[in-house]
Structure 1
Amino acid sequence: MARNSRSIGSFDWVLIVLYLALVTIGWVNIYSASFDPSAESFFSMSNEYFKQIVWIFLGFIIIAFILFLDSKFFDRFSSVIYIISLLSLLLLFVFGKTISGATSWYNLGFMSLQPSEFAKAATALAIAKYLSDLQTNIRTIRDQIIALVIIALPALIIIPQPDPGSALVYAAFFFPLYREGLAASYLILGATAISLFVLTLLIGPLYVALIAVLLAIIYFIKNRKKRPSKRLIVGIVTASCLFAFSVNYIFENVFEQRHRDRFNIVLGKEVDAKTIGYNTQQSEIAIGNGGWFGRGFLEGTQTKGKFVPEQHTDYIFSTVGEEWGFLGSTVVIVLFVLLILRIIQLSEKQKNDFSRIYGYSVAGILFIHFVVNVGMVIGLLPTVGIPLPFFSYGGSGLWGFTVLLFIFVKLDGNRINEW
């Protein structure tokens, strides 16, 4: 027997309060970053901060709609939602609006809608449906390939828009795959490839190859009594060397110049404060200006001077750093960490595989967005155009993350309602 699945008390209020806190703090910083003292009226759609209030209000309507639905709706119609999402991405190449060089939006007149923000939730539902229907760990090659195709399809459509930042987020789905039994060797392989790529850019392929050979020799000497497989060691070293010597080709012929510039700046190989590196440099200055306790609300010199481009969108965290300082930045980081940990904790309590897998997908997506955005703003990672969840300005981003989170809130509420 089940209780009323729409009971307010059945929903996890820790998640809801964390969501409201992040959205509220995000709006305060959007207000500061886009504040114009010469504006005629606060209630004007020409002001980003007022438009964000409208998006937040409409987001509450979306939340009410999601929580009103039967939780089984998301399981039953996950495939349909996923297909509609893919079609919405494909139709951009015909009806899409180009903004900042990317054809990623539909022009609705009163606003622009970015379907890639909703595709993440659709993909999370699709992968949760597929893995839960397996009723076993994802260990066969066939199951792994199908799961990879489900994840890769939207990413491959998004890349040529071009929007590599949004496509990068789909790496987050390795979190639920790993939880459901994907071998750790895949994650180790991916981490090793990334490390070799960065190391090769830093010191060159020849030195990377020499290091790989040296490590293999040391490993073989230390474990000679265990008789390690010579073929395996030689194979790993050979693969590492081949990969290292292919990095420069990939870097020069696959990446665009703007991507190469951003990598070079982060790696300290090139400093271009006037063009591609301007955003990051100004962001670092803004955060440095904040010190321990910040300059105060509307008192940030970098923020008021509009020195940081896109400060109310992708670089919103620089406003937090300048006006609220290290203390305020820590509070925001703690809120995000608590949100992600709470989702993981609740995911482990789910009574069905679909809800658990979806929960891990949500946690993974939020984690990737949070880490990459903050890393980008403080200069640790290249600029890739990934918004900060619930913080960055924009209706599509706010609604996409709201849908993503509150589908899980609804699924978790169903767990509580069931006897």
Structure 2
Amino acid sequence: MQNQSVLANIDKLSVFIYICLVFFGWMSIYSASLPLEPSSIFDLNQIFGKQLLFMGLCVPVISILLFVDAKIFDKYSLIFYIIGIILLMGLFVFGKTSKGQTNWYQFGGISMQPSEFAKIGTALLLAKYISDVQPTFVKIQEQIAALAIIFIPVFFILLQPDAGSAMIFFSLFLALNREEFPTWYLWTGAIAILAFILALIVPLSILLPLVFVCFGIHYWRNKKITRNIFVYAGLAIATATFIFSVEYVFENVLEPHQKDRVNVLLGENVDMKKEGYNLNQSMIAIGSGAWLGKGWLEGTQTKGGFVPEQHTDYIFTTVGEEFGFVGSLVVVVLFTGLLLRIVYLAEKQRSVFSRVYGYSVASILFMHFFLNITMLIGLFPTIGVPLPFFSYGGSSLIAFTIMLFIFLKLDANKVNEW
């Protein structure tokens, strides 16, 4: 009876959008990896055949998630988190190094990226912790504990090094913000990113006075009696120090390929046949699709293999070329619809755990979607972030599926009524 209730109450709109995205993603992968010689769609020697296998594996995974006791996700959240951390640490002993990164396990023909699954454990433990310390983050130790849950996996992922995957974890600040986490954390991060970019393109002789003027204006407009000129002065000095350090970090900390990607984003003089090649080919492919696209399997950029890694991080270029603006808009609408639906369902929860987990899922999916699309059109540096349910890869597809259907299970099982 309970299983029948779960199947009856599962959000069918979310499931429908999920199926549409996975199927549309496979069509794009098929087009991007189609060999010259005819081959069966089930050919496991081909990328599209492997992706079809991963899609098939998602069926039993979903079945298990829907029929297990929903309480295990709350009860064993710490166990799931620890397993994720152990898998991340194990990479430094058993991981495979490729292109300077050690972020995969390779067992024969099977590979697995643990950072994709660590996101699930982190989201579960964060939801569990917040549900235990509600109603608000009053104590500083509570804030530190929540930050530690996020930063521990980030630390090990940065050691791989995989800045793209690490950046995704910061999306969880959006879920924290929903639960009345101090907003100055978000503002600090946003200002740091803006200051870093401005320090690379604006002369210090202009930027530093501008910083002190902005702090001065904010001080005089602040009507609170508790305003403290020493606090403002300290923040202004700290910001100026950070700006001074940007050039050193850019020249001595970032890897050459990372500097190239930032230069491409900022429009610096780059060789479009070298460091700017990926972005240039990506924009050519998307732009050539015009309004209605060239048709499925008819993309010349796609068939010619001009876009590197097109079946993974650059899969959206296939959509743009073969289905045009209209097809791209459909994909954007599907993702937006799924995100809004998750947020809507999360707000309906009366359990803090299921609400926070729902917001965490929405935040992670949003960050993946936003970064992947913006890097393809030159609004963000290329950082190797897959498009959920679209990009080729068993780890990402299965991990995103688990992440989504845990929440749908929580919602369908009415965990909010515990």
TM norm. shorter chain > 0.5: yes
Q: Is the 8 A contact 2:123 2:360 kept in 1?
A: yes
The answer to whether residue 191 in structure 2 is matched with residue 192 in structure 1 is yes
Unaligned segments of structure 1, at least 5 residues: none
Alignment of 1:224-303 (within 5 A): 229-303=228-302
Structure 1 partner of 2:81: 82
1:184/1:220 CA distance change after superposition, 3 Å = closer
Q: Distance in 1 between matches of 2:77 and 2:286?
A: 42
Q: Distance in 1 between matches of 2:379 and 2:390?
A: 20
Q: Give CA-to-partner distance per residue, 1:230-268, whole Å, 9 cap, x none.
A: 434433332222221111112122211111110011001
Q: Give CA-to-partner distance per residue, 1:174-208, whole Å, 9 cap, x none.
A: 01111111111111111111111111111133321
Q: Distance in 1 between matches of 2:326 and 2:414?
A: 37
Structure 2 partner of 1:19: 18
Structure 2 partner of 1:171: 170
| Structure 2 residue identity aligned to 1:68 | F
Q: Distance in 2 between matches of 1:163 and 1:215?
A: 35
| Structure 2 residue identity aligned to 1:239 | A
Q: Give CA-to-partner distance per residue, 1:138-161, whole Å, 9 cap, x none.
A: 232101111111111111111121
1:379/1:74 CA distance change after superposition, 3 Å = same
The answer to whether residue 402 in structure 2 is matched with residue 403 in structure 1 is yes
Q: Distance in 2 between matches of 1:401 and 1:204?
A: 43
Structure 2 partner of 1:155: 154
Q: Give CA-to-partner distance per residue, 1:17-65, whole Å, 9 cap, x none.
A: 1100100110110111111131444331111111111100101111111
Deviation at 1:115, TM superposition (A): 1.1
The answer to whether residue 283 in structure 2 is matched with residue 317 in structure 1 is no
Unaligned segments of structure 2, at least 5 residues: none
The answer to whether residue 395 in structure 2 is matched with residue 393 in structure 1 is no
The answer to whether residue 55 in structure 2 is matched with residue 56 in structure 1 is yes
1:12/1:273 CA distance change after superposition, 3 Å = same
Worse overlay, 24-33 or 197-206:
197-206
Q: Is the 8 A contact 2:101 2:161 kept in 1?
A: yes
| Structure 1 residue identity aligned to 2:350 | K
Q: Is the 8 A contact 1:172 1:368 kept in 2?
A: yes
1:404/1:233 CA distance change after superposition, 3 Å = same
Q: Is the 8 A contact 1:265 1:272 kept in 2?
A: no
Task: Provide the aligned length of Structure 1 versus Structure 2.
Answer: 418
| Structure 2 residue identity aligned to 1:391 | F
| Structure 2 residue identity aligned to 1:209 | L
TM normalised by structure 2 equals: 0.95
Q: Is the 8 A contact 2:6 2:409 kept in 1?
A: no
Worse overlay, 94-103 or 120-129:
94-103
TM normalised by structure 1 equals: 0.95
| Structure 1 residue identity aligned to 2:173 | F
1:78/1:417 CA distance change after superposition, 3 Å = closer
Q: Distance in 1 between matches of 2:203 and 2:329?
A: 37
| Structure 2 residue identity aligned to 1:273 | M
Identity %: 50
| Structure 2 residue identity aligned to 1:292 | W
Partner of 1:7: helix, strand, or coil?
Answer: helix
Partner of 2:324: helix, strand, or coil?
Answer: helix
Alignment of 1:22-37 (within 5 A): 22-37=21-36
The answer to whether residue 182 in structure 2 is matched with residue 183 in structure 1 is yes
Deviation at 1:320, TM superposition (A): 0.6
**RMSD (Å), alpha carbons:** 2.1
Q: Is the 8 A contact 1:311 1:318 kept in 2?
A: yes
Q: Give CA-to-partner distance per residue, 1:349-400, whole Å, 9 cap, x none.
A: 1121110010010011001000000011111100100000000001011001
Deviation at 1:418, TM superposition (A): 5.4
| Structure 1 residue identity aligned to 2:332 | I
Worse overlay, 366-375 or 213-222:
213-222
Q: Distance in 1 between matches of 2:36 and 2:5?
A: 44
Q: Is the 8 A contact 2:54 2:394 kept in 1?
A: yes
Structure 2 partner of 1:374: 373
| Structure 2 residue identity aligned to 1:175 | L
1:171/1:183 CA distance change after superposition, 3 Å = same
Q: Distance in 2 between matches of 1:173 and 1:374?
A: 19
Worse overlay, 237-246 or 253-262:
237-246
Q: Distance in 2 between matches of 1:125 and 1:221?
A: 43
Q: Distance in 1 between matches of 2:130 and 2:217?
A: 41
